Structure 1
Amino acid sequence: MKKMMTYLLISIVAIIAIVLIFGLFLPKERTFTKTAVLNSDVTKVFNIVTDFKNQTSWRNDVKEIIVIDNNTWTEVPKKGTAITFKVKQKVENEIFEIVIIEPKNFNGYWIGTFKQTKVNQTAIEFKEVITISNPFFRTLSYLFVDFDKTMDLYLQNLKQKLGE
C-alpha cells in the first residue's frame, strides 16, 4: 500500500511538473479579434455593447451582472470564473475599452471599435488581449478556455439582440 501511494504521489508531482514546464514555453499573451458588419445604426450598437447593466437580457452565457459603480462591474458567467471589469476609455459611438481588474491570476483588456459605414450599417472590431503570467494557469487556459469561442458567442448574441 505504501509503495502504491509513493507511485501515486510521484505521478501527481510529475503531471504538475509537466504542466508547469509546458506553460513556460507558451506565450504569456493571447490576442483574439473579431470583426463584423452589422445592419444597425452605430448609436444603437454602441449603446447595447456599453450598457453592461443589461447584458444578461441578451447574453446567454452571463448569469448575473454585479454593478460596483458606473464604470465597474462583475460578470458572473453561467460557467467559469467571475470577472470584474472597469471602463478605461469610452468615446461615444467610436471606442469602448475595458480592463480586467479581477481575478488576479490573469489580466488583460477588451476594446471595441465602432464605425458607421452606411446608413443603418456599422463595422465593428472587438479585440481581447489576455495575459497570464503563471505558467501553470497559462497551460490550463490553453487546454480548457476557448476565448475565440467566447467571442464568437458574444458576437452571435449581439446579432440576435439587433434582430440580425
Structure 2
Amino acid sequence: MKLSRILIAFVLGLVCLLGIGFVLGGVLIPAEKSFTQETEIDASAETVWKVLTEREKYTEWQDKLSAVKIIDENRWVEIVKDVGPIDFYFVRKEKPKTLEIKYATPSGVDGQWLGEIKPVSYGRTVITTTDKSIVKSWIAKIFMSMFFDIEEFAKDWNQKLKARAESLEKGSSKGKENQ
C-alpha cells in the first residue's frame, strides 16, 4: 500500500514537472523567427520573377504542395501536404526587383516572405530572401520549435526556386538557339 502511494506521488510529480516544462517552453520560446539568405541563380531577373509570380505552376516545382487555388490576382491558397491550407497574398510587387508576400495558417502562424532580386551579370541573378514567421499560440510555438525549422525550409525552397528558374532559362535559351 505504501509503495503504491509512493508510485502515484512520483507519477503525479513527473506529470506536474512535464506540464510546468511545457508551459515554460511555450512562454520562453520566441514567437517570431526570421531567416535571411542569398541565392545565386543562373537566370535573368525576369525569369526568377516569372517563377515567383506564376502561382498556378508552384506544384510543378514545390513537391510539398498538393494544390494551389487562385482567389484573385493578389490572393491564393496553397494546400500543403500533411499540413493543410495556407492563405497567401501579395503585399508589394515591384517587377522584377521586389516581391513581398504575407501568409496565415489556420493554426495561428502568420508570416512574411520578402524577395529582393538583383541582376549581377548577364543571365545571372542574386535573390535575397527573408522569411519571417510569427506564432500566436504558446502551444503552437512548442510544436513549431520541435517540428519545423524555418531555416531549413527556406534553404530548401530557395534551392527549388533556383532549379526551376535555371531550367526555364536553359529551356528558353535552347529555343532561341534553334530559331
Per the normalisation by structure 2, the TM-score is 0.80
Please tell me whether the aligned partners of residues 21 and 135 of structure 1 are also in contact (alpha carbons under 8 angstroms).
no
Shift of 1:46: 0.8
SS at match of 1:60: coil
Structure 1: gaps of 5 or more residues: none
The RMSD of aligned alpha carbons is: 2.3
Indicate how the Cα distance of structure 1 residues 10 and 64 shifts in structure 2: closer, same or farther if over 3 A, else same.
Answer: farther
Which segments of 5 or more consecutive residues in structure 2 lack a partner in the other structure?
171-179
- Matched with 1:66 is 69
State the alpha-carbon separation in 1 of the partners of residues 162 and 149 from structure 2: 20
- Cα separation, 1, equivalents of 2:47 and 2:114: 17
What residue is the counterpart of 1:23 in the other structure? 26
**In structure 2, C-alpha distance between the alignment counterparts of 1:15 and 1:72, rounded to whole Å:** 41
Alignment of 1:124-135 (within 5 A): 124-135=127-138
More helix by share: 2
| Matching residue of 2:96 | 93
Counterpart amino acid of residue 41 in structure 2? L
- Could you state the TM-score of these two structures normalised by the residue count of structure 1? 0.86
> Is 1:153 matched up with 2:150?
no
Is residue 107–residue 140 contact of structure 2 (8 Å, CA) maintained in 1?
no
Distance 1:17 1:75, change over 3 A: farther
**Are the counterparts in 2 of residues 97 and 112 from structure 1 also a CA contact under 8 Å?**
yes
User: Alpha carbons of 1:135 and 1:73: their partners in 2 closer, same or farther (altered >3 Å)?
Assistant: same
Give deviations 1:42-80, integer Å, cap 9, x for gaps.
000111012112100111121111112111111111232
Q: Secondary structure at the match of 1:69?
A: coil
